[in-house]
Amino acid sequence: MKEDIIFHIQDNREVSRIYSELRVSFFAHNRVTFPMIREEEREEIYNDSFIALYNNISSGKLQQLTCSLQTYINQIGKNKSIDLLRKRSPEESFPNYEIIGCGSSLDITDDDNDAITIERQEEIYKLVKDMENDNCRKILFGFYWQRYSMEILAELTGLNNADVAKSTKVRCFTKLRNAVFAAFHKKGLI
């Protein structure tokens, strides 16, 4: 199946269908991983990622996949997103990723599991976004998506210190965990 998709892209057949199919999951994954990126930037990142994918296939650089095509393009997008964030905030530290690859941390062998994972991530993102407590939202997004330290989170939320921010995060996470469990159970995601 993976080789069929590469063959279709090599022959310029069904490129627009594949572009559309990959786009939906790419956007969902990228929104969850990088909520601080604006939608117009995300659109540009996706277009650049698809062009890189197409060029890798056309040039023969990519001949066989060790992961799903979706995972491959998501990894390209992750690298491009991190590059964008580094340009925006050079003083902030972001993890180093390989330029392109399907490393062991990204090995997803079942596309159905990929779809369920994305649906779960979207649900968690929505639950955090819809939290009534503004400090909970800021702390959870800041800690889990933006990787801020407790000191920075305390400053952003106006809390006294990092210890107060940490105990607030624990309370917020407990509320979120209960909401996630209920939502996942209701939607059949567990």
63: left (phi > 0), else alpha (psi -120 to 50), else beta? alpha
pLDDT digits (tens, 9 = 90+) for 89-112: 766 555 544 334 443 333 333 344
pLDDT digits (tens, 9 = 90+) for 34-84: 888 999 999 999 999 999 888 888 777 877 777 788 888 988 998 899 888
pLDDT of residue 105: 32
pLDDT digits (tens, 9 = 90+) for 104-163: 333 333 344 556 677 777 888 889 889 989 899 999 888 877 778 889 889 989 999 999
CA distance 51 to 179: 39
CA distance 115 to 87: 31
Q: What is the CATH number of domain 118-187?
A: 1.10.10
The SS3 assignment for 38 reads coil
CA-based nearest residue to 76, from 50, 54, 57: 50
> Comparing 41 with 29, which gets the higher pLDDT?
41
On the question of pLDDT at 13 being above 60, the answer is no
Structural tokens at position 90:
């050079």
Cβ atoms of 6 and 63 closer than 8 Å? yes
In angstroms, the Cα distances linking 98 to 40, 63, 77, 95 are 25, 18, 12, 10
Q: Count of residues for the chain?
A: 190
Stretch(es) of the chain classified as CATH 1.10.10: 118-187
Task: Output the pTM of the full model.
Answer: 0.50
CA-based nearest residue to 145, from 29, 43, 42, 39: 29
